[in-house]
Copies of this chain bind each other. A is one copy, B any other.
Amino acid sequence: MDWATFISDLNGIEVITALPQVAKLSEDYFRFSPILEPILNGKVGDIVVRPASEAEVLQVARACVKYQVPLTVRGSGTGNYGQCVPLHGGVILDITKMQAVRWLKPGLACVEPGIKLAALDKKAQEIGWETRMVPSTVRTATVGGFIAGGSGGIGSIMYGQLRDRGNLRAVRVVTLEDTPRAIALRGDDVQRVNHAYGVNGIITELEIPLAPAYPWAEAIVTFADFMTAARFGQALSNCDGIIKKMVSIHATPIPSYFAALRSYILDGAHCALILVSEADLDPFRALVGEYGGNICYEKNAQDANKGTSLVEFSWNHTTLHARSADPSLTYLQSLFPNDPQLELVQHMYGHFGDEVMMHLEFIRMNGIAIPAAIQVVRYSTPERLNEIIQYHEEHGVLIANPHTYILEDGGMKSINYEQLEFKRMVDPYGLMNPGKMRAWMEVR
């Protein structure tokens, strides 16, 4: 491939060709997984292109089709399983220059994909709103990347997951057809490209719902035993009269990995990291009292806005901190969907002990608060990791395997024919993020 020719076809769109930068922009956090690390290590694109508008995206698309070059879209690269790692080189399309807010109104925002979630929140908060849910990487992750590669996060205890009807309203995607074009999808049609790792369309604009921006207070509650902490998390999640945005429960020794919080949390304590409406702190404290918890850290909303938020110790930031302390650690992602009494949580907690350290994130699924878990795992061998996964699945825990870069092998499990059908139309040459969609490779 003659990249100079390709680049000259781009008529001045920003291009990065320096290898160290291209290599950096070919990565995400796949090193969280000792399975993915050797597979994805060294997978790099040939060039990075940084379009500033949909018109420029269309121009890149035309060049990719003309030269039959693979194209992999990335936001900030905060994914954890190679969603935006190019398996077959080609163009890395970095959309972080496309940051415009097209419009904002009560309950809805229309944005370009490259705006960071925290930046959008700041804009939306000016009119009293904010995004419904964010990953723990809210400060760096882009809206487009979150939709294409994420599933939920802080706020999911109120609004469910990104896949739920209502949590993505419209998208524009650019195709890699013979004559690339932009297609507008709205309503249930957005599911054609929602959480599809960019295998079937380059998202150039999104309409997403907003949530009222409560003043969020933050608190850490410690408990002498893990199951009480877990039950507190479930009770708080079920409490319709207390508004909360994050219910994050950590078994010891996970809190010991939170260096910045170590002065607050006693050694050996299990803890809950909570975002709660500041106006609801009184009933929150009463619930803590009922469960015998100890509030060792509390910030009102104004103070919580300064310094580091507890958000940055939740979800996969937990994994990040654990691995900072001990790089041999890895993780699982799972759901306990039919476990209102947390018996299955208790079983897994007792069964694996410190090998699978329990970390729960409560979310709503179909209207019911359930624990998701992002367990911290002491890694030994691939075989043992598979055994652990299998044991969970045999007992009814849903594993969204973070040790695969294949779209269907993560949380989805089965072929999404709607997404496959759409790929057939918009990416006839299979140039978009090739190697990620099992359906395309096997069913085609």
Contacts and interface: CB of A to CB of B under 8 A. Distances in A.
Given A166-B283, A169-B283, A283-B166, A159 B240 contact: yes
A278 B108 CA distance: 10
A282 B239 contact: no
Interface string A87-107: 000000000000000000111
A108 to B, nearest CB: 5
Interface in A144-165: 158-161, 164-165
Contacts of A164: 239-241
Contacts of A179: none
Contact of A241 (B160, B278, B282): B160
Copies in the complex: 2
A210 interface: yes
A164 B160 CA distance: 22
Contacts of A277: 107
A339 to B, nearest CB: 14
A369 interface: yes
A282 to B, nearest CB: 6
A237 B367 contact: yes
A240 to B, nearest CB: 3
A367 B166 CA distance: 20
Given A188-B286, A214-B107, A166 B368 contact: no
A280 B212 contact: no
A52 interface: no
A365 B167 CA distance: 24
A436 to B, nearest CB: 26
Nearest to A212: B212
A215 interface: yes
A186 interface: yes
Contacts of A214: 106-107, 212
A365 B107 CA distance: 26
A128 interface: yes
Nearest to A108: B279
Q: Which of A215, A286, A367 has the most CB of B within 10 A?
A: A367
B166 A107 contact: no
A166 B351 CA distance: 36
A242 interface: yes
Contacts of A186: 282
A279 B239 contact: no
A241 B209 contact: yes
Interface of A: 105-108, 128, 132, 158-161, 164-167, 169, 186-188, 209-210, 212, 214-215, 237-243, 277-280, 282-283, 285-287, 364-369
Given A107-B278, A166-B280, A212-B212, 5 more contacts: A106-B278, A107-B215, A159-B240, A187-B285, A367-B369
Q: Which 9 A-B pairs have the closest CB atoms?
A: A107-B279, A166-B241, A160-B240, A238-B367, A212-B212, A166-B283, A164-B241, A167-B241, A240-B364
10 contacts: A106-B278, A107-B214, A107-B215, A107-B280, A108-B279, A164-B239, A165-B239, A166-B239, A166-B241, A240-B367
